[in-house]
A = this chain, B = another copy of it.
Amino acid sequence: MHKRILIVEDEASIRDMVAFALRKAGMDAAHAADARAAQMAISERVPDLILLDWMLPGTSGLELARRLRREELSREIPIIMLTARGEEMDRVNGLEAGVDDYVIKPFSTRELIARIKAVLRRSQGDDGSGIVELGGLRIDGPAHRVFAGEDAVPIGPTEYRLLFFFMTHPERVYSRAQLLDHVWGGSVYVEERTVDVHIRRLRKTLEPWKLDDMVQTVRGAGYRFSANT
């Protein structure tokens, strides 16, 4: 049950270093030196997580991240960005592209491993059954159904995807752009305000069970799904 991590990084020393640390932590490490190689590696075998260097020769890491989010095959793969010490700008742009986390170089391997585990835990949320339970709400991936306690919750397709994303990524703020990337997919263009409307619809759906306050507004930042009020 080893997790497979794909490292996309052109500098060999960092690549070796990271691969070394990953193996030590009981994960399988694959690597690619540029965007092309990365896409080939992914199509060959889908990794559980991708470590992506911000600076790549040719197609930049950010661009690659966007592309991966657009493809059906790679949309669900969590991405951690490796960025050189720089501005908040980088951070913002990276998050906009639907990146799950980012680590600033130089990082200690222990820190990196900790982040990887955190992201894997978060993006799994489930024990492999595809069923996630949180604060009185239960979502069944394979069955495509939602339960509040014992009751089945009637829910539309988009609201379902939105709720699924939230339940697998709770206790964390996501901007409207991020939600669009993760829930709608990167290739569609819709207004950011549209997210508001679907948030509203999701809340309305959860209202009969008084669970609507799990969907929380963070003014100026986005939305958060939380079991705590």
User: Within the complex, which residue of B109, B111, B173, B219 is in contact with A102, where a contact is CB–CB below 8 Å?
Assistant: B109
Q: How far is the CA of A152 from the CA of B20 in the complex (A)?
A: 40
User: Within the complex, which residue of B21, B107, B173, B219 is in contact with A142, where a contact is CB–CB below 8 Å?
Assistant: B173
Q: Does A127 lie at the interface of the complex (its beta carbon under 8 Å from any beta carbon of B)?
A: yes
Q: Does A1 lie at the interface of the complex (its beta carbon under 8 Å from any beta carbon of B)?
A: no
Q: How far is the CA of A142 from the CA of B169 in the complex (A)?
A: 11
- The B-contacting residues of A in range 69-110, CB under 8 angstroms, are 85, 89, 92-93, 95, 100-110
Q: How far is the CA of A33 from the CA of B157 in the complex (A)?
A: 41
* CB pair B224 A16 closer than 8 Å: no
User: Within the complex, which residue of B13, B114, B219 is in contact with A156, where a contact is CB–CB below 8 Å?
Assistant: B219
Give chain A's interface residue range (CB within 8 Å of chain B): 35 or more
- Could you show 19 A-B contacts with beta carbons less than 8 Å apart? A20-B102, A21-B102, A24-B93, A100-B110, A101-B109, A102-B109, A105-B114, A106-B115, A106-B117, A107-B128, A108-B115, A108-B118, A108-B119, A108-B122, A111-B122, A143-B173, A143-B224, A144-B218, A145-B224
- Residues of B close to A119: CB separation below 8 A: 108
User: Within the complex, which residue of B92, B172, B220 is in contact with A143, where a contact is CB–CB below 8 Å?
Assistant: B172
- Residues of B close to A114: CB separation below 8 A: 105-106, 127-129
* Residue of chain B at shortest CB distance from A226: B143
* CB pair A221 B157 closer than 8 Å: yes
* CB pair B24 A142 closer than 8 Å: no
A27 to chain B, nearest CB (A): 12
Q: List 13 additional contacts besides A105-B114, A144-B221; criterion CB under 8 Å.
A: A100-B108, A107-B128, A111-B118, A111-B128, A118-B129, A140-B171, A142-B171, A142-B173, A143-B171, A143-B226, A145-B171, A152-B229, A156-B219
